[in-house]
Amino acid sequence: MARSDLILTLVRAGMAGDRALLRATVEALAAEERAAKHTTLADRLAQALSVNGSAAHVVANGVYPGREFVAEAAPQRKLEDLMLTAVAQRQASDLIEEQRRADLLRSHGLQPRHRVLLSGPPGNGKTVLAEAVAEALALPFLSVRYDALIGSYLGETTQRLRKLFDYVRTVPCVLLFDEFDAIAKERGDVHETGEIKRVVSSLLLQIDSLPSTVVVMAATNHSELLDRAVWRRFQVRLAMPAPSRGDLVRFLAKAFSTSGEARLRDTREIADSLWPVSYAEAAEFLIDVRRRHVLSLGEKRFAEFVTEQLALWSARAQVDSHGERSDKTPVALRPAEADPAHQGSEANAAVPTPVPSRSAAKGARPQARRPRTGTGKRRRSADAAE
């Protein structure tokens, strides 16, 4: 009997026994076969795992149920291109090594870590770290589509969530739950409905049952909103903080060196002007500078565009550390000071313009001020005495 027929026979016969253990074993086997490009065998294994072995896992047009709930992208970013803390760099490297040498760990009864939780303010590398892990492991990079996953009817989201995990179990991949707090909120919140509580319970069970061939990474900007039971499910928990001034200097120096524009301007001076920003904002600043430089067709030096963009970026609306918007324009960019005719008029601008009296508006001549008399002087003295 061929190897594939033997495996399928064992699967069908074992479905009546310890289904949980057998299912996990066959899912891992199907994932290994798919990674080895044995797609036909992997598809037949997935089909055999369906209910009673009769429901086809692959439809006629080649679309897998659950595939519509994820978006696949080819990973481009590399781990060495990212600015990470020492702890995050070490943990990511260890995770990649464990996944690459999973066979050695399994031979000793161990499994590689494959569940990672990333937390921190937006724009500091959570999503790109997941992409870099997928690139290092040469795995598909899948992002969960909440617009397709979350339904409006009772039980619909839970059912779709089950289909999603049924799909990824047989596909070695890096699965990213971005904005994880949208689906893993605290169940003790009295303002949440019972539906979201059922979704969170189902999500935690599904994460627990994932094989180690699937690296699931969750990213959140609001870790305080996550359910307390979520934290235990993740073997690696990394904080992705905003860059310090020193981190920003190193980030800019690395960016300028790779683009051939090093030493055009002191990177520390640029970092002091930009800080505090996220890595994503700093990268966007560099893109803005290069965009203006390209459009100028060499009419200005690159350093001149850096100076111009620094002035514009200092005037942009932003969110402070307390989450409040700030739309104040710096004094250096106010129109009154930009116009030479208004130079030196800042003090005068603070003096209110006198409002003409009613008689002056009718064209009447202002009355002359009466001379002070001694009576008035004595009256002020009496008032002072009182």
Look up residue 137 and give its two tokens.
């492991």
Rounded to two decimals, the pTM is 0.66
Average pLDDT, the chain: 75
Q: Which residues contact residue 81 at a Cβ distance below 8 angstroms, ignoring those fewer than 6 apart?
A: 132
Rounded to whole angstroms, the maximal C-alpha distance in the chain is 129
48-87 residue pLDDT tens: 665 443 333 444 344 577 888 999 998 889 998 888 999 9
Distance in angstroms (rounded) separating the CA atoms of residues 209 and 266: 52
pLDDT given at position 164: 93
* CA distances in angstroms from 9 to 24, 200, 288, 293, listed in the order given: 16, 36, 61, 66
Q: Of all helices (H) and strands (E), which one includes residue 313?
A: helix 302-314
Nearest 5°: the CA angle 273, 123, 304 is: 30
Predicted pLDDT at 352: 43
Task: Tell the burial category of 146 from Cβ atoms under 10 Å away from its Cβ (0-12, 13-18, 19+).
Answer: middle
SS3 175: strand
Question: What pLDDT sits at residue 318?
Answer: 61
Q: Which pLDDT score, from 0 to 100, does residue 386 have?
A: 45
Mean pLDDT for the stretch of residues 190-198: 75
Between 44-48, 194-198, 212-216, 303-307, the lowest mean confidence (pLDDT) is in: 44-48
pLDDT, position 295: 86
Q: Note the helical H segments in the chain.
A: 3-14, 19-35, 39-48, 86-100, 102-107, 126-137, 146-149, 156-168, 194-208, 228-233, 245-258, 267-274, 279-295, 302-314, 335-338, 346-349, 358-361, 374-385
Which has the higher per-residue pLDDT, 70 or 356?
A: 70
The length of the chain in residues reads 386
- pLDDT for 303 equals 77
Highest mean pLDDT among 204-218, 331-345, 372-386: 204-218
Task: Give the whole-angstrom CA distance, residue 20 versus residue 30.
Answer: 15
Residue 188's SS3 state is coil
Q: Which of the residue ranges 35-44, 241-250, 328-337 would you say has the lowest mean pLDDT?
A: 328-337
Assign 177 to helix, strand or coil: strand
pLDDT > 80? residue 32:
no
Residue 47: pLDDT band (50, 70, 90) is: low
Q: Looking at residue 304, what is its pLDDT?
A: 80
Predicted confidence at residue 14, as pLDDT, reads: 59
pLDDT computed for residue 330 by the predictor: 42
Structure tokens at 34: 């798919």
pLDDT in tens, 141-191: 999 999 999 888 878 899 999 999 999 988 889 999 999 998 888 887 666
> Which pLDDT score is estimated for 377?
47
Spell out the residues 6+ positions from residue 233 whose beta carbon is closer than 8 angstroms to its own.
115, 204, 207, 208
Mean pLDDT of 277-287: 87
The answer to whether 115 touches 238, Cβ cutoff 8 Å, is no
Predicted confidence band of residue 293 (pLDDT cuts 50, 70, 90): confident
Instruction: Compute the distance between CA of residue 178 and CA of residue 220 in angstroms, rounded to an integer.
Output: 7
CA distance 306 to 270: 8
- Could you give the percent of the chain with pLDDT greater than 70? 66
pLDDT at 362: 46
The domains of the chain are located at 1-60, 64-239, 245-317
Q: Which CATH architecture has domain 64-239?
A: 3-Layer(aba) Sandwich (3.40)
CB 33, CB 47: distance < 8 Å: no
The pLDDT of residue 163 is: 92
Q: What pLDDT score does 207 carry?
A: 93
* pLDDT tens readout for residues 296-354: 887 787 778 888 888 787 776 565 545 454 444 443 444 444 344 444 444 344 444 44
For residue 176, what pLDDT is reported? 96
What would the two tokens of residue 200 be?
């969170």
- Please say whether the beta carbons of 276 and 326 come within 8 A: no
Residue 100: phi and psi, rounded to 5, are -70, -35
